[in-house]
């Protein structure tokens, strides 16, 4: 059960209502962690901007979603997992890869860039840094600008996951995607 009181639009102040209305008009999320971010309307706007910026990066949808799922799984964030599995499937990530990440196992990957995504994300989350070997390989494959986007995606979804966990933002009982125990 969600810990934070979910504000109705009528309970929001003018700045919160404006941020909420802007998100709704743009078709952006207003639920999940955004039920917390609305308490700081500027943060809600900035998180949307970060999300849009990462989606517009040179990472493919598959690459971005793999990094997203690895971060979410690391933090065991139930709501983001339920939402992002659907987005990952839509981006072309296969169920076997999603299931491997959910089981905390390395997926069977053949694409060098996707292998680098896995290595970068898992090293950052488990070791809090990348080895020189991983950094050099990823920088060569992606280029520095895209590597920055990859690292930022891991960080951004760590924030989203921590927000969901702190406020116990859980998916509805009928959400099809669930984290393994």
CATH number at residue 158: 1.20.1290.10
CA 115 to each of CA 94, 121, 143: distance values in angstroms, whole numbers, following the listed order = 14, 10, 15
Please determine, for residue 1, whether its predicted confidence score (pLDDT) is greater than 70: no
CA 24 to each of CA 16, 34, 42, 68: distance values in angstroms, whole numbers, following the listed order = 12, 12, 15, 23
Residues 140 and 75 in one domain: yes
Residues 25 and 69 in one domain: no
- Distance, CA of 172 to CA of 163 (rounded, Å): 17
Residues 92 and 134 in one domain: yes
User: For 24, left (φ over 0), alpha (ψ -120 to 50), or beta?
Assistant: alpha
Determine what percent of the chain is predicted with pLDDT higher than 70. 99
Note whether residue 132 is domain-resident: yes
Residue 104 is predicted with a pLDDT of 96
Residues 38 and 71 in one domain: no
Determine what percent of the chain is predicted with pLDDT higher than 90. 90
What are 156-180's pLDDT values in tens digits? 999 999 999 999 998 877 777 788 8
- Distance, CA of 8 to CA of 1 (rounded, Å): 17
pTM of the model: 0.94
Residues 73 and 124 in one domain: yes
Please determine, for residue 17, whether its predicted confidence score (pLDDT) is greater than 80: yes
- Confidence label for 148 from pLDDT (cuts 50, 70 and 90): very high
Contacts of 55 (CB under 8 A, 6+ apart): 64
Please determine, for residue 64, whether its predicted confidence score (pLDDT) is greater than 80: yes
- Residue 9 is classified by DSSP as G
Q: Which of 47, 24, 4 is nearest to 153 (CA)?
A: 47
Residues 20 and 91 in one domain: no
Residues 65 and 153 in one domain: yes
- Confidence label for 23 from pLDDT (cuts 50, 70 and 90): very high
- Measured at the CA of 50, the angle between CA 173 and CA 83, to 5 degrees, comes to 15
Number of domains in the chain: 2
Lowest mean pLDDT among 29-33, 44-48, 106-110: 29-33
Note whether residue 145 is domain-resident: yes
What are 93-128's pLDDT values in tens digits? 999 999 999 999 999 999 999 999 999 999 999 999
Note whether residue 50 is domain-resident: yes
Note whether residue 181 is domain-resident: no
Domain span at residue 29 reads: 9-55
Residues 154 and 65 in one domain: yes
């Amino acid at each position: 059960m969600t810990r934070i009181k979910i504000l109705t639009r009528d309970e929001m102040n003018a700045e919160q209502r404006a941020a909420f209305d802007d998100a709704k008009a743009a078709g952006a999320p207003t639920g999940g962690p955004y039920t917390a971010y609305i308490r700081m309307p500027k943060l809600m706007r900035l998180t949307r901007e970060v999300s849009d910026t990462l989606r517009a990066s040179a990472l493919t949808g598959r690459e971005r979603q793999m990094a997203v799922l690895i971060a979410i799984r690391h933090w065991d964030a139930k709501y983001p997992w339920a939402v992002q599995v659907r987005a990952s499937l839509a981006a072309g990530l296969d169920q076997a890869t999603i299931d491997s990440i959910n089981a905390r196992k390395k997926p069977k990957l053949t694409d060098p860039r996707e292998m680098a995504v896995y290595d970068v994300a898992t090293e950052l989350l488990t070791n809090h840094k990348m080895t020189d070997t991983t950094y050099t390989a990823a920088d060569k494959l992606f280029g520095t600008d895209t590597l920055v986007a990859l690292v930022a995606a891991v960080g951004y979804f760590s924030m989203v996951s921590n927000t969901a966990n702190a406020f116990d933002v859980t998916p509805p009982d009928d959400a099809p995607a669930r984290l393994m125990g």
